[in-house]
Amino acid sequence: MVEIRLTNSKTRKKEVFEPIDPKNVRMYVCGPTVYDRAHLGNARPVVVFDVLNRLLRYVYGSEHVTYVRNFTDVDDKINATALARKEAGAEGSLEDLIHERTEETIGWYHADMDALGALRPDHEPRATGYIPQMIAMIEGLITRGHAYAAEGHVLFSVGSYADYGALSGRSVEDMIAGARVEVAPYKRDPMDFVLWKPSSDDLPGWDSPWGRGRPGWHIECSAMADDILGEEFDIHGGGIDLQFPHHENEIAQSCCAHDHGGFARVWLHNEMLQVEGKKMSKSLGNFFTVRDLLDQGVPGEVIRFVFLGTHYRKPMDWTEKKRAEAEATLRKIALRLKDALELDLWSSLTLFVPPKELVDALCDDLNTSLALTHLNRYLKNSEIHNLLGTLVLLGFSPEGLIEEFAYFEARAGDNGVTRGSQYSSLGGDPANGQADLQGLGRKLAELREAAMASKDFSEVDRLKAALIEAGVEVQMSKNDVTLLPGAGFDPAKLEGLL
């Protein structure tokens, strides 16, 4: 059996992963609160844990892995969004508008994450579908002396759990400051957090022993994980921003709800995302959603490739340079795969098997940056079998890459590339106003041959500079000249060069 090593946030050590039951490997990852589009930072844990999900399925078998990622569909932000729509004149009750908004947002989320090549989890529970389980868990916590009811609220007594703070490693003072705790007269201790809170008649609510109300955020994940995966399971993941207070509170209430269950054995947290070296924020004008990028023509494969270039435990910086480099690399891969497909080099493959060194890289705490180093070497050396196996395990469809990057239609006057047409990236139809890179490549080769004799390379340099200015990648070896459309390719700038 392949050995996987993961950095456990709870022990702060890289450990050999030993599942509770190799025939039933279980992972829970905190999903989105569905009130709006997923921004780029929301997408990072999706890709990180998609890679881990794929690795676990490769090592243990797909039928032996259960991956759960929830939707939080009861939340004050969702209520506020629906209320704003109602005040703006939207028809229907507030409950109808909340349901409409959550359904719409979940649909957006699925479409955007699908575009990044992420597999759907085995289970995607919605909080509203597990209210009875939440109420039952809260009742158990009260019975065990870990929670108390006060003024229509139920609160978890942090002081009743001796190990509180072990995950984040924070002192009580730091935790109070970091959590921005709500000071309320019904709290016995400032650190106590809400398990249940009252709902007014105009807000979503459910009947409970403590009156009509709705659950607190933290109890939702504990109840859903417990119901689907059991009292104890293998891996719990999410962004580092959730480590405290959300994950700290999950551990406390889940461990106190059971006599023996230890909740999650391994905790994994991905670091935050930046944009051009700065924290992403609306105030800085660098805040954008996954859909914003997709609508701007940035393929989901490019977003995924950029994410994989940085180890999950390091802050990731999204830059325009990284985007352009990722797109150029994926185009090279797609063209190489297209050539191999046309030469029938795939016919002997019944399965795309990843090379051992690639698997070893991912087994070493998901070292995706090293995996991409191997990928680039396979590309350079035309190791098609290794290239195919690597792409599949990293979550890229070889056929999809060819469709997305190896073909395009480029008409003079267009500022960009429309992918998916019949024209090869090395050809075109000048009669219809399309860029003829193949013809320009022949012309550059002829000019270079003449320059070798005359020792005057001015015309070669002029044409090469014009091609680069148009966004064409010029590759010149001793015997060959190859022109490839790069990031920012503008066929209009090639007019008059032939």
Q: Annotated binding residue at 363? A: no
> How many separate helices (H) and strands (E) can be counted in the chain?
16, 17
Token output for 474:
């010029």
CB of 137 within 8 A of CB of 223? yes
Which among 280, 433, 309 is positioned nearest to 370, based on CA atoms? 309
How many whole angstroms separate alpha carbon 289 and alpha carbon 75?
Answer: 21
Task: Provide CB contacts within 8 A for 318, sequence distance 6+.
Answer: 40, 273, 274, 275, 276, 306
Q: Annotated binding residue at 221? A: yes
How many whole angstroms separate alpha carbon 116 and alpha carbon 163?
Answer: 38
Q: Return the C-alpha torsion angle 15, 21, 25, 28, nearest 10.
A: -80
How many whole angstroms separate alpha carbon 311 and alpha carbon 192?
Answer: 35
Q: Annotated binding residue at 282? A: yes
Amino acid, res. 298: V
How many whole angstroms separate alpha carbon 498 and alpha carbon 489?
Answer: 17
How many whole angstroms separate alpha carbon 37 and alpha carbon 466?
Answer: 40
Edge to edge, what strands does the sheet with 263-270 contain? 65-69, 25-29, 232-239, 263-270
Q: Annotated binding residue at 493? A: no
In degrees and rounded to multiples of 5, residue 317 shows phi and psi of: -110, 110
How many whole angstroms separate alpha carbon 124 and alpha carbon 122?
Answer: 7
How many whole angstroms separate alpha carbon 365 and alpha carbon 313?
Answer: 9
Q: Annotated binding residue at 250? A: yes
Binding site members for ATP: 282
Binding site members for Zn(2+): 30, 221, 246, 250
Binding site members: 30, 221, 246, 250, 282
